[in-house]
Amino acid sequence: MAELSRAVASLRVTGEDLIPDEVSSLLGAPPSMAYGRGDTIASKLGTVRVAKFGLWTYHAPETEPADVDAQVVELLGRLTPDIEVWRQLASTFNMSLFCGWFMERVNGGLEISPNTLMSLADRRITLSLDIYGA
């Protein structure tokens, strides 16, 4: 199978009542980006909007070629190993591993190891994929 050319990945925690500092305290690391409901958010184009929900996100290093297993190990290795903390967060907020997968050819793929899938499942993290064609 032809491999994907590169991958970006980030853990996203979202919720109406999310307070970024509380999530940081529970997970043991500051976010790459965060905001709370009602915060003003400016886009790169200069438009401004008011957040309707809170977001806490933590980025993994980009991999080239794509290596989601390495990205998950990197992300989760920097955050709390306490599964109960993850389950507490999952009971209140939506959590996902957002992955952007980029192809240079018409066809490509990758494999995700059972250990990676189990690590996400144990923490109640949804795998969310955006796949970008050649």
Write the pLDDT tens digit of every residue in 91-131. Answer: 999 999 999 888 777 776 778 899 999 999 999 999 998 88
Dig out the tokens for 83 from the structure: 């599964």
What is residue 78's predicted lDDT score, i.e. its pLDDT? Answer: 96
104 domain-assigned: yes
Please state, in angstroms and rounded to a whole number, the distance separating the CA atoms of residues 62 and 73. Answer: 13
As a dihedral over the C-alpha atoms of residue 64, residue 68, residue 69, residue 70, rounded to 10 degrees, the angle is 40
Q: Spell out the residues 6+ positions from residue 47 whose beta carbon is closer than 8 angstroms to its own.
A: none
Question: Closest Cα to residue 53, out of 63, 64, 41?
Answer: 41
Question: Closest Cα to residue 112, out of 76, 67, 77?
Answer: 67
Please state, in angstroms and rounded to a whole number, the distance separating the CA atoms of residues 67 and 59. Answer: 14
Domain count, the chain: 1
pLDDT band at 82 (very low <50, low <70, confident <90, very high): very high
112 domain-assigned: yes
125 domain-assigned: yes
pTM: 0.88
Instruction: Give the burial class of 14: count Cβ atoms within 10 A of its Cβ; 0-12 exposed, 13-18 middle, 19 or more buried.
Output: middle
Summarised one tens digit per residue, pLDDT across range 25-78 is: 999 999 999 999 999 988 888 899 999 999 999 999 988 888 889 999 999 999
Cα torsion angle, 12, 14, 20, 22, sign: negative
What is residue 12's predicted lDDT score, i.e. its pLDDT? Answer: 97
93 domain-assigned: yes
What is residue 18's predicted lDDT score, i.e. its pLDDT? Answer: 96
1 domain-assigned: no
Please state, in angstroms and rounded to a whole number, the distance separating the CA atoms of residues 45 and 122. Answer: 38
- Domain with 73, as residue range(s), is 6-132
13 domain-assigned: yes
